[in-house]
Chain A
Amino acid sequence: MKVIRNILDGMKPHVQKGGKFHKFHAMYDAAETLFFVPNKVTYKGAHIRDAVDLKRNMFMVVIALVPALLFGMWNTGYQYHLSIGQSASLFDNFLHGFLAVLPIIIVSYVVGLGIEIIFAQMRGHEVNEGYFVTGVLIPLIIPVDTPLWMVALAVIFAVIIGKEVFGGTGMNIFNPALVARAFLFFAYPSQMSGDKIWIDGLTQGQGIVDGFSGATPLAKLAAGEPGSVLSAYDMFMGWIPGSIGETSTLAILIGALFLLFTGVASWRVMLSVFVGGAAMGLLMNAFAVNTYMEIPFYYHFLMGGFAFGAVFMATDPVTASQTATGKIIYGFLIGVMAVLIRVLNPAYPEGMMLAILLLNTFAPLIDYYVIGANVSKRLKRVKA
């Protein structure tokens, strides 16, 4: 650690104001604060500060994503080997998936962090940790066969239009990772749907064995083939086709427990998304006119990105409602909208992404009314 400190101290004069490499100061700061918590002390306000900072906070989310990521890698290999009709060992499945997913993660981080550093440099800010999480979220919510150039394009769009135009992390209206997903979905609709994109190698025309379908449960339901919907157990465990990190409800739940335990994610949002989804699912059951409306409500939690969205996307503190009451309303409506879009809108097999983006738009409005209640209570007190 002394060695690293010495190297950093040696570089410092050159990147500070007036130094030859001042244009790289944001990059330097990012590296320095990665290795060391800075030596800055309080000079106003409270003299002591909580040990937590945004880096640690964000890192907790990354840890929570690890089960879904590891499972996603294994499942990528597993689905691949299924599609070509071979059986492979656990390790071979994982290795294949690892090699397929790693390039996507690298592209996501290199492109995203590159843009973040450029903006931090332009604004004279420190590089914000937000992309720490977004960088791994994006690979987890896209199909494994998405071409890398599309990943790069989606990241550029998400970081610039989704975040930096609003002023960077903390200022954005929409969840950046979902902006990336939505970009892919709407810009390349033909490539991003169907039953080939979910399996590694299929779009390049690798062979499929008879009887294998790469279609996701949601696609089958939307296409009106509920008969072939997988068992709840398979969907819960996650060895089904789908976006890289979204398939295993179990892996996501492990992450959810970690997030709730550390208090990094809001239990109010998380819980109320599921309550909202259940409520809408039951309502659908009550008025069921087709098989999709008849499926048990908990199937919605197991299919597609519902669980992943509820745990990792809806709970994004920046784009969610900020008041305690607001969080409950916000989460509930996400659950309701997700199921509503899924079941009643044939154009979009998956409703979670759109439901969260929609409620991102309404989150400030929800807060406005919640805070408005507090304001009018105060006004009433004056009159009394």
Chain B
Amino acid sequence: MHNIKINRGLNISLNGMAVLQTADSSTSTHYAVKPSDFVGLIPKLAVKVGFPVKAGTILFNDKQNPDIKFTSPVSGVVSAIERGDKRKILSVVVEAASTQEYESFAISDPSKMSRADIVSNLLVSGAWTHIKQRPYGTLANPNATPKSIFISIFDSAPLGVDYHYVLANEADMFQKGIDVLKQLTTGKVHVGFDASKTLPDGLKNLKNVEITAYSGKHPAGLVGTHINQLDPINKGDVVWQVQPQDVLVIGRLFAKGHYDVSKTVALVGSEVERPQYYKTKQGALLSSVVGGKIKGQNVRYISGNVLTGTMLELNAYLSAYHEMISVIPEGNHYQFFGWITPNFHKFSMSKTYFSWLMPNKSYTLDTNINGGHRAYVVTGQYEKVVPLDIYPVELIKACITNDIDRMEQLGIYEVLEEDFALCDFVCTSKQETQAILRQGLDLMIKEVG
């Protein structure tokens, strides 16, 4: 095991860190699968309203790659297919039955299975959708073989999940999931963890895996950072990434024969009465987790962390891949001479505020943009928070100008939005770098594939 120190980055210390306690969330009456959680997905429905389903029964598949199936997180009845503009499918909603039934899939030892059997078991159960690929951050392509697979149990983002706590009692399933993934790659399965904490006993002796400790500020915990350090993506390379609790989903599938999307999510943020962990399932109603646990009135609910998450209404559903819910105050108010006053309660990477004098202080930050959109003026900011061997501003400019060659030259294959999330945060000109990068990635998918 080796130790890698990440020198650049930024920790944003927010109020509302989850205490290490887990409770059951209240029962969610409905669960949903949202096609918008998956990059570029065009769903092809396999069910109609009123169809009875079990956990693991197909709801829809990927039109471009029909082998990829999206299955129900719970058993019950399809209660709604919500559509938006141009009849785009927003979510397929299942009303949960009181007792849960599972479709049964093969229970077997992955080390004795052929790669093709493992792939088909993952595909038919829906567990395949828990694997993301780089470049582009799309669903993994079943016909591709990744040169390596990366898992990070170090969430360095603001109010990040403590995976050492969450996974402490799940080591068996985590190992099982890794065993499965190991069969899918020609290279290594990498697990990165937080060097400042000791690994829980169960995770110390993981097999089939290359464990690396990372120290440093955010984004030291992102797989993008890990990939860049250990096995950078070149043109034509494919690398997969899996969220820690999605590894458990895969592990349970092979250990128990069930598609079980149970998750422990962290409910965090300054507006949460008592930030802690809750047991729930992917696709549950947000209100089942946060209902009655919020202090403020004017708040924003975010599925995921405050840098990369998705804004949700209280009656919406938890997104795939997200393992936390952040609740922060909305910032829709004016600040009198806010740009000139000292503002000790504000946080900034720059030394134009006083937050650098109080490195141990936690902040309550709201959603105000804190300024107006401008052309690029200040330079050298993004470089401070992107610890990759990449020129971030140049890459963003290549995305703005739709210059495919330049994007390729500057390393677009190596990055996803999350790697640039801190650029959004620090930008003095308030540029939307994640959105711009996604445009560039989408163009690459279309033109290069």
The residue on A at minimum CB distance from B434 is A45
Instruction: Note all chain B residues with C-beta closer than 8 A to A347.
Output: none
Q: Is there contact, CB below 8 Å, between B336 and A38?
A: no
A21 at the A/B interface (Cβ < 8 Å)? no
Q: Is there contact, CB below 8 Å, between B380 and A45?
A: no
Q: Is there contact, CB below 8 Å, between A56 and B380?
A: no
Q: Is there contact, CB below 8 Å, between A168 and B375?
A: yes
Q: Is there contact, CB below 8 Å, between A46 and B335?
A: no
- State how many angstroms separate the Cβ of A367 from the closest Cβ of chain B: 8
- State how many angstroms separate the Cβ of A86 from the closest Cβ of chain B: 40
The residue on B at minimum CB distance from A262 is B351
Q: What's the Cα separation between A42 and B383 when bound, in Å?
A: 22
Number of residues from B at the complex interface, CB < 8 A: 75
**Stretch of A217-225, A247-255, A300-308, A371-379 that contacts chain B:** A371-379
Q: Is there contact, CB below 8 Å, between B434 and A126?
A: no
Q: What's the Cα separation between A41 and B306 when bound, in Å?
A: 13
Q: What's the Cα separation between A330 and B332 when bound, in Å?
A: 42
Q: Is there contact, CB below 8 Å, between B374 and A324?
A: no
Give the contacting residue for B343; candidates A51, A57, A371; CB below 8 A: A51
Q: Is there contact, CB below 8 Å, between A33 and B372?
A: yes
- In the complex with contacts A128-B375, A261-B351, A49-B394 CB distance below 8 A: no
- In the complex with contacts A47-B300, A48-B425, A54-B371 CB distance below 8 A: yes
B210 at the A/B interface (Cβ < 8 Å)? no
**Stretch of B91-99, B128-136, B362-370 that contacts chain A:** B362-370
Instruction: Note all chain B residues with C-beta closer than 8 A to A17.
Output: none
Q: Is there contact, CB below 8 Å, between A53 and B371?
A: yes
The residue on A at minimum CB distance from B437 is A45
**Stretch of B28-36, B286-294, B307-315 that contacts chain A:** B307-315
**Stretch of A88-96, A314-322, A354-362 that contacts chain B:** A314-322
A50 at the A/B interface (Cβ < 8 Å)? yes
Secondary structure call for the B interface: loop
B9 at the A/B interface (Cβ < 8 Å)? no
B378 at the A/B interface (Cβ < 8 Å)? yes
- State how many angstroms separate the Cβ of A120 from the closest Cβ of chain B: 11
B143 at the A/B interface (Cβ < 8 Å)? no
- State how many angstroms separate the Cβ of B177 from the closest Cβ of chain A: 30
Q: Is there contact, CB below 8 Å, between A39 and B332?
A: yes
Q: Is there contact, CB below 8 Å, between B234 and A47?
A: no
Q: What's the Cα separation between A167 and B330 when bound, in Å?
A: 34
Give the contacting residue for B306; candidates A46, A56, A168; CB below 8 A: A46
Instruction: Note all chain A residues with C-beta closer than 8 A to B300.
Output: 47
A1-45 at interface with B (beta carbon < 8 Å): 1, 4-5, 33, 35-45
Give the contacting residue for B380; candidates A42, A322, A382; CB below 8 A: A322
Give the contacting residue for B337; candidates A36, A45, A60, A322; CB below 8 A: A36
Q: Is there contact, CB below 8 Å, between B235 and A37?
A: no
Give the contacting residue for A54; candidates B302, B390, B410, B429; CB below 8 A: B429
Q: What's the Cα separation between A33 and B371 when bound, in Å?
A: 8
Q: Is there contact, CB below 8 Å, between A59 and B308?
A: no
- In the complex with contacts A45-B434, A46-B421, A52-B302 CB distance below 8 A: no
Q: What's the Cα separation between A41 and B433 when bound, in Å?
A: 16
User: Which one of B300, B353, B367, B375 has the highest number of Cβ atoms from chain A below 10 Å of its Cβ?
Assistant: B375
B360 at the A/B interface (Cβ < 8 Å)? no
Q: Is there contact, CB below 8 Å, between A378 and B379?
A: no
Q: What's the Cα separation between A47 and B231 when bound, in Å?
A: 31
Give the contacting residue for A324; candidates B378, B380, B426, B430; CB below 8 A: B380
Instruction: Note all chain A residues with C-beta closer than 8 A to B348.
Output: 50-52
- Would you mind naming 18 contact pairs between A and B with Cβ atoms under 8 Å apart? A36-B334, A37-B338, A42-B368, A44-B435, A45-B421, A46-B422, A46-B425, A46-B434, A47-B300, A50-B350, A53-B339, A53-B372, A57-B378, A60-B352, A130-B377, A170-B377, A322-B379, A375-B410
The 5 A-B pairs of least Cβ separation, nearest first, read: A53-B371, A170-B375, A37-B338, A46-B424, A51-B346
